[in-house]
Amino acid sequence: MTVAACGTFFGQSAAADVIIPYNEYSGSPTIGRGNGTSTDPKNPGYGAMRIFIQKVMDHTDENGPDALPIGQKVIFQRDQNTGRAVNALRAGVQFANSNATPRPVFSEPSWGFIYNSVPFGMNFEQTLGFLYDAKLDETGRNGIELAQSILDSRGGTQIVFPVIGSTMQGSGYFPQPIGKPDCNAGDTDCEKHGNGIGLTGLCTSGWRIRYLSPPQDVVDRACDILVKRGFIRSKTLVFYPAVGGQSVLLPMQRNAIQGFEYVNPNDDLLDFFPVKNATPARPLGDPDAGNLDCAPALAFPIPPDTKSNCTQNIGQIGARFAHHPSWHQPFLLSWMHVDKAAWNGLNAAQKAAVLRAAKESVTESFNAAESVQCKKLKDILDFNHGIGQRNLDGTPRLIAGKPIPADMTITRWPDDALKVLLEARNEYMAFHEGPSNPNEKTDAQKDFSIISIAWTKYAASVGAANKFDPGHFPAKTGLVAGEKCNLVQ
């Protein structure tokens, strides 16, 4: 039979197996892709969400020491027609209230990003302690339970829990380096940038960049700090709004933006470096093949239904400087949000099995992503060797008659920029906490304060409150098993 559940369906077969359809925020391999065909990160069909889906099925079937009776299997099934206010997979914690009038409320609470990752915040392992082991209030609630209690108090209609962990992200591909780039030998175009343009140069660049909130707000506030202190007269940096379902490569190719941050080397390589004419001798293909004419430039922002018309990669377009460390996103957690009607349709054993699968999947998916990031980053850095940049119409970009290299180049954020960005992060947190007098806070500020105070106290207890440790990128595994990745210093 089939049972309706708040605008969508979870199906039961004749044997009473339960299917829970969900809407997936991203099809990127390390943060979603539930329709992937493999749980092996080295397989082209890899999808992190497949780890959770498979674990749920394994923990709810009739086999093994944790066997449930026949017919109690639970299957999470990717279905983009399912409303995100019902069942959804996305980064961080959302808020859904399908009983609101005149229409259902679906939004992200101001504190939701804390359950993804905090700029300059705790690392992945420390955050796991906050989520699962911490006793954050007098009732002994951990981080997940605390989040659920606030959602419930506001009429939330979903049960939330993390299911995917992914490694720290790169913090921006730009046409000029913010700090000193790690230039390849003989790359005079790279070397001419010296120590980079700095945060002042970014804020006055006039670039349009895609940086999602809260990191966007932190960069914006950092520029305001520089204006206030007289380091720059005004900021000219502009932020490109998120367009659902639109690849960031598209506005890059059509000159609507000049830079962006995205996910991590694994997913960036897949999405922003089209492989053309691959051969055994050149497995990354020939970037100069294909249609390189991206003209005409398009307005800002580009309409969501616009299709790509060319194959230039981001280095050919000019955004050749890959920035680290990941101050803005030390890791990523994707959360499953299950409608309470669907959740309450499960029995106690099924619920326990799903939560067990979720906890196991968070760690296993993180480790899977981490195991390939160094290799994928090297592929990005190798992709454009010997390749030159292109103009919008595909013609070679020249200076004094010479081509400009498209080589992807690691660049570190300078320490003085990181200090201002951290200060801006603190301002951003304080803004959302609101007035110090509890009686003067809005409901949103009260909720934010509950979460941020608990998070800050726990961060202090593990030595991560006032110290930024970017760790080893892309975590700890190098190109040789057992070694640290040495591509980013």
Question: How many Å apart are CA 391 and CA 446, to the nearest integer?
Answer: 51
At 317, the amino acid letter reads I
- pLDDT value for 483: 85
- pLDDT value for 302: 87
- Cis? peptide before 241, omega within 30° of 0: no
Question: How many Å apart are CA 123 and CA 332, to the nearest integer?
Answer: 10
- pLDDT value for 122: 93
Four-residue CA torsion sign, 337, 343, 346, 351: positive
Q: Which helix (H) or strand (E) holds 322?
A: strand 321-324
Four-residue CA torsion sign, 402, 404, 406, 407: positive
Could you please report the per-residue DSSP string of 172-223?
-EESS-SS-B-PPTT-HHHHTTTT--HHHHHHTS--EEE--TTHHHHHHHHH
Give pLDDT tens digits for 242-267. 776 678 999 999 999 999 998 899 99
Q: Model-level pTM?
A: 0.93
> What number of other Cβ atoms are within 10 A of residue 184's Cβ?
14
- pLDDT value for 158: 97
Q: Over its length of 489 residues, how does the chain's per-residue pLDDT go in tens digits?
A: 333 344 344 444 445 689 999 999 988 999 999 999 999 999 999 999 999 999 999 999 999 988 999 999 999 999 999 999 999 999 999 999 977 877 778 888 999 999 999 999 999 999 999 999 999 999 999 999 999 999 999 999 999 999 999 998 889 999 999 999 999 999 999 999 999 999 999 999 999 999 988 999 999 999 999 999 999 999 999 998 877 667 899 999 999 999 999 889 999 999 999 999 999 989 999 999 999 999 999 987 888 889 999 999 999 999 999 998 889 999 999 999 999 999 999 999 999 999 999 999 999 999 999 999 999 999 999 999 999 999 999 999 999 999 999 999 999 999 999 999 999 999 999 999 999 999 999 999 999 999 999 999 999 999 876 677 776 777 678 888 778 888 887
Q: Where are the domains of the chain?
A: 173-328+389-421
Question: How many Å apart are CA 361 and CA 334, to the nearest integer?
Answer: 11
Give pLDDT tens digits for 31-74. 999 999 999 999 999 999 999 999 999 999 999 988 999 999 99
Structure tokens at 392: 């919008």
Strand order in the sheet with 259-260: 238-239, 208-210, 259-260, 173-174, 321-324, 409-412
CB 424 within 8 Å of CB 90: no
CB 6 within 8 Å of CB 157: yes
